[in-house]
Amino acid sequence: MIKQLPLGSQGFVTSEQGLGMMSIGITMGNRDLYGKKNNVSKKGVAELISRSIAAGITHFDTAQIYTNLSGMMIGSWFPLANSSEKRMKLGLSENVGKWQVATKVMNSGSKQSVKNACYRSLRDMGINCIDLYYLHRIDPKTPIEVIMEAMLELIDEGKIKYVGLSEASPSTIRRAHSVCPITCVQMEWSLYSRELEDEIVPLCAELGIGIVAYSPMGRGLLADTSLQFDNLSRMDFRKMGGVEYASKEGERDLARGLEKLAENKGVPLSVLSLAWVHKKGRDSLNGAGVVPIPGTGNPNHMEQNSTAVELSYKLTDKDMREIEKCVPRESMAGLSRYGGALGERVFTLEENITLQEWDKRNQ
């Protein structure tokens, strides 16, 4: 049974597992960034949302940049452009009062751009208020304090309830939290991505900030041992997106070793790797809460993933040591999770201009 639990310490309550909606937003035809076919029609997404709610998953995580190829190349105005927010509209309207919606703004260079993006998201999803509104990435040229003022204004207007950050450094999290209380931060967290455990996790435990864990199964690599990097499409994000752990020598051996452990426990590899994130977060965050958001556009996969919550409560400390022995933290240490421009906007490299520097430049 998936419970509704507090995330962070600002009053937000949501399901202890969510659903990432990138697979029904960033699409080429009916295929997602990992080559999986999904029913991305409005009715197909509505079924996904309804079945998720029936499984106990009420937290739906999307973003304004989750748009199809036409929208990316030509613009959102183009008639064939579509986004996850627009595709979710029917499913949200059919389940009013049963969900919590989180979305993210990428263009966060000014207060007005953050607010205008919020109004657009509300219109596209056909809702009156966003439960959780994130900065998708931190703009290095605008002080985080300024953008947090925009968030406070949106709260006062009744357009959003709670605020989050994604891929923010510890110093930026502290600065933001001092202006507008942060409910949670969204970070990649899986057996293949653990660098946040050094500073981000202790900081969140200290400040009562929850963590929403994206890519909790290592972008699908910890769900399917049949995948082979050389056989992936050149458009597969694990290849074209610069995900270094996907091409690391010996990576498939790690996944197969963990799969053997999963088989011994009578569960799929995906469920065991996801359950690890749940327990790791609960054990590390001092009650601040963790919500993994495995992404899929397939209702059957969503339902299988949902069983990880129950398993996570059965895992012992010995089980956790066995899992981490199969996939040692050092095996993926120091590898880039993104290439190109996105690779420069991760929390380990993020540097936000101070108010003092900004004031000097604008005098």
b (16+ CB within 10 A) / e for 199-208: ebbebbeebb
Three-state secondary-structure class, residue 256: helix
Which of 34, 66, 214, 245 does the annotation list as catalytic? 66
Q: Which fold has domain 15-361?
A: TIM Barrel (3.20.20)
pLDDT score for 124: 96
Say how far apart CA 185 and CA 291 lie, in whole Å: 10
pLDDT score, position 69: 62
Nearest-angstrom CA–CA distance, 184 and 161: 12
What single letter denotes the amino acid at residue 349?
L
For the chain, give me the number of helices (H) and strands (E)? 14, 10
Token duo for residue 219: 């972008």
pLDDT at 71: 55
Determine the pLDDT at residue 248: 94
Active site residue 66: yes
The tokens of 290 are what? 């963790």
- Cβ atoms within 10 Å, residue 276: 27
Residue pLDDT tens, the chain, 363 long: 899 999 999 999 999 999 999 999 988 888 888 989 999 999 999 999 999 999 999 999 999 999 876 555 555 555 556 899 999 999 999 999 999 999 999 988 899 999 999 999 999 999 999 999 999 999 999 999 999 999 999 999 999 999 999 999 999 999 999 999 999 999 999 999 999 999 999 999 999 999 999 999 999 999 999 999 999 998 899 999 999 999 999 999 999 999 999 999 999 999 999 999 999 999 999 999 999 999 999 999 999 999 999 999 999 999 999 999 999 999 999 999 999 888 889 999 999 999 999 988 887
